[in-house]
Structure 1
Amino acid sequence: MTAYDPRITPANGHAAAHELRGLVQATRYVKGTVRTVQQPLVNLSDAPRGERSSQLLFGEAFRVIDERDGFAFGQSLRDGYCGYVISGALTRQEAATHWVAAPATHLYPKGRLKAPPEVAIFFGSQVRVTSDLGDFKKISTGHFIPTGHLQPLRARFSDTVGVADMFLGTPYLWGGSSRWGIDCSGLVQAALVACGLDCPRDSDQQRGVGRELHPEEPLQRGDLIFWSGHVGLMSDANTLLHANAHHMAVAYEPLVQARNRIAANTDGAEAGTGDIVMRRRPELRS
């Protein structure tokens, strides 16, 4: 059998996606069942009760391949990333109509400003709007969301750095994908996806996004800078915007300063080591 990247291969030995029959070994091959995340956030782990690899947001679609002992193994339809989530975080599939385009938003019990909100959901979450009250929209859970925090499902931003800037000050969290906590590749993914670009989850996978810059090409806003284990976006020719363990937050930093610090990182104090290994330019669709 050919070796496949387990991060994007929907197979765990017990079961595999039906399209992998003859390619990977499994006890059974299944079509899988698409379900929707019903929690504000849920960890996507490398094993049941394992380490967090990523997170899924409210309203995201997750293809369940295998389910046992309270955990569902499957694949995120957003980026193809595979792993385990708590089964109780999932519900039946529901088609979304809008997505949250603010860093976070509250779910209000009534469509009134002073109604005490019950919970928050985060940028990129998907919802199904059932009625429009003007300043608020009612969603399928019965909650209300400020209209200004939502965009139609197909709406997109045009500036990846502008999107990433909305996460400024967000705590650094390994595997994080939201305003509650985010890591370097999660920030890049959120920014690119919001601008209509397909983007995988991890920094090594993201080295295939856009085109590689020629050595003599000057950097510009939106370019991606890669180290071994780290990635950030250029806000201009000299300044990096990145989620990093040095600041333990999303922060702006002179590229020269970040480059020197990461090159000196030999004790694993933060993600990223060595010198810059690649510079790439995402190409936004017109």
Structure 2
Amino acid sequence: MQVARPVVDLLRRPGGPRDRQLVYGDCVEILESSGDWQRVKSDKDAYEGWLPATALELAEAPTHWVCAPSTHIYAEPDIKSADRVSLSFGSRVTALVQNERFVETPLGHIPRQHLKPAGERFTDPVAVAALFLGTPYLWGGNSRCGIDCSGLVQAAMLACGHSCPGDSGDQVRAVGEALPSGTAPRRGDLLFWKGHVAWVADPETILHANAHHMATAYEPLKAAVDRIENQGDGPVTSHKRL
């Protein structure tokens, strides 16, 4: 099955709190059903949780994925036609017809500039993360509507063809090579704190989705390290390199 909504919460239990999110076209395996709810495992990261049964439909083979922060789905191949729905970065769609400007899908028409063919990837995860600048911070968020620190890392990693868990606690164990304390940071490194993760944009700057800015934002590295430790969340616990 695949997700049939632009964004859907992956819940800890039916009607419970959000742990993560899935976006349109994400494929899942159904593990269990309970009334109007289904417990699923996400194909992209093996994350498990509960979704409303109405949020799923039969999976189709995707031909493209949304590579812009978000896109509109138009009723006609015309930017002045009605927009039916918006999809977030990473959503997967199936093309029916293509022309120079639009790709027609079962949902409607998507500008070609906002899509990449299935299998085509980015090469710079930090550049991908920067697409989310200004996105509101949302605990457990995985979309342009709202994203958290680990969601930002996962979106960038998957877009570059790297496997990546959904939570920072799993990411610190699974992603990259640990570097000795005092190693000079460089672009593309990951810095981990207890319960937080950030991209290194350059040796003096990080890029992260964070509750201090309540958004995805750049922040001076030293200022961030000092702020996070001073607010009681401790020092950097791991420095990883892809």
- Per the normalisation by structure 2, the TM-score is 0.98
User: Per-residue CA shift, 1:125-184, capped at 9, x if unaligned?
Assistant: 00000111220010133x000011010110000111100000000000000001100000
Quote the residue 1:51 is aligned against: 17
Cα distance in structure 1, aligned partners of 2:183 and 2:211? 29
- 1:68 and 2:34 matched: yes
- 1:198 and 2:158 matched: no
Quote the residue 1:85 is aligned against: 51
- 1:167 and 2:132 matched: yes
Quote the residue 2:5 is aligned against: 39
TM-superposed deviation, 1:95: 1.1
TM-superposed deviation, 1:216: 4.2
Cα distance in structure 2, aligned partners of 1:248 and 1:211? 29
- 1:95 and 2:95 matched: no
Cα distance in structure 1, aligned partners of 2:146 and 2:109? 24
Cα distance in structure 2, aligned partners of 1:229 and 1:160? 21
- 1:132 and 2:92 matched: no
Alignment of 1:10-29 (within 5 A): none
Which of 216, 219, 226 is the equivalent residue of 1:253? 219
User: Per-residue CA shift, 1:93-128, capped at 9, x if unaligned?
Assistant: 211111000000001011111002011001000000
Unpaired runs of 5+ residues, structure 2, are: none
- Per the normalisation by structure 1, the TM-score is 0.83
CA RMSD in angstroms, aligned pairs only: 0.8
Cα distance in structure 2, aligned partners of 1:145 and 1:108? 6
Which of 279, 282, 286 is the equivalent residue of 2:239? 279
The secondary structure found in structure 2 opposite 1:118 is strand
Percent identical among aligned pairs is 45
Aligned length: 241
- 1:118 and 2:84 matched: yes
The structure with more radius of gyration: 1
Cα distance in structure 2, aligned partners of 1:167 and 1:70? 33
